[in-house]
Amino acid sequence: MKFLLPQLPFKPSAIEPYISRSTIEVHYNGHLKKYIDNINSNDFIKSIKEDVELERIIMLSSEKDLINNFIPPLPQTSELFNNSAQAWNHVFYWNSISGKTDEFGGEIASLIFSRFGSLDKFKKEFMNKGMELFGNGWLWLTLYNGRIELINSQNAEIPWLYGARPLLTIDLWEHAYYLDYKNNKDKYLKAVIDNTLNWRFANKNLRFSEL
């Protein structure tokens, strides 16, 4: 089997001026492509003769899946988990930032108003949560036990490994913002949260969580 580099859901310049075309191109053609290449060069992946979803590879390589009878048991490895989880995170991130500010509404709006009181208060809490993260990782808007929760994850970790449904995410690795904002993570977070969050995608993920 072989994983393919997924297409961006927008043109590289579509997020400007908040995220530059240069950042998107380096991020997509460099970081994401490298993760996909590393997955495909993994000996375990090359040994699989059938199509397996990326989520299944993540579960197996995370050692959180206790039933390994779908494909041969995976040798203990963090490399495959890091690359497969980062590939999944990046695809989710592209979809999380390809929206417009006037799309806020629907069930996600009701949940946010119930949890935070207003969109402005949510944005403030979301940004503060992101600023709490030390080092590399991800900022997530999730649904957990029927309640909106803001979560930080280190490195390649994904909330659904722990029972939380991702709704939106923001990449907090430095390569996601350094070309545009240098070390000013706060300016990057504010720009993304105020201007690019894909609320349609969040509502779609809410509906999916109910299946």
How far lies 133's CA from each of 62, 150, 186, in Å?
22, 12, 11
Q: What is the pLDDT of residue 61?
A: 86
DSSP assignments along 29-49, one per residue: IIIIHHHHHHHHT-HHHHH--
SS (H, E, C) 134-198: CCCEEEEEEEECCEEEEEEEECCCCHHHHCCEEEEEEECCHHHCHHHHCCCHHHHHHHHHHHCCC
Average pLDDT over residues 65-87: 65
Assigned token pair, 187: 């300016």
Give me the domains of the chain, ranges plus CATH numbers: 21-96 (1.10.287.990), 101-209 (3.55.40.20)
Q: What is the pLDDT of residue 76?
A: 45
The SS3 call for residue 7 is coil
Instruction: Report the chain's C-alpha Rg in angstroms.
Output: 17
Phi, psi angle pair for 153, to nearest 5°: -130, 140
Please tell me the total number of residues recorded for the chain in this structure.
211
**pTM of the predicted protein model:** 0.91
For residue range 35-46, list pLDDT tens digits in order.
999 999 998 889
Q: What is the pLDDT of residue 207?
A: 85
For residue range 154-170, list pLDDT tens digits in order.
999 999 988 899 999 99
Average pLDDT over residues 194-201: 95
Q: Is the pLDDT of residue 111 over 80?
A: yes
Enumerate residues 6+ apart whose C-beta is below 8 A from 206. 106, 107, 108, 111, 143, 165, 167
- Percentage of the chain surpassing pLDDT 70? 91
For residue range 114-164, list pLDDT tens digits in order.
999 999 999 999 999 999 999 999 999 999 988 999 999 999 999 998 889
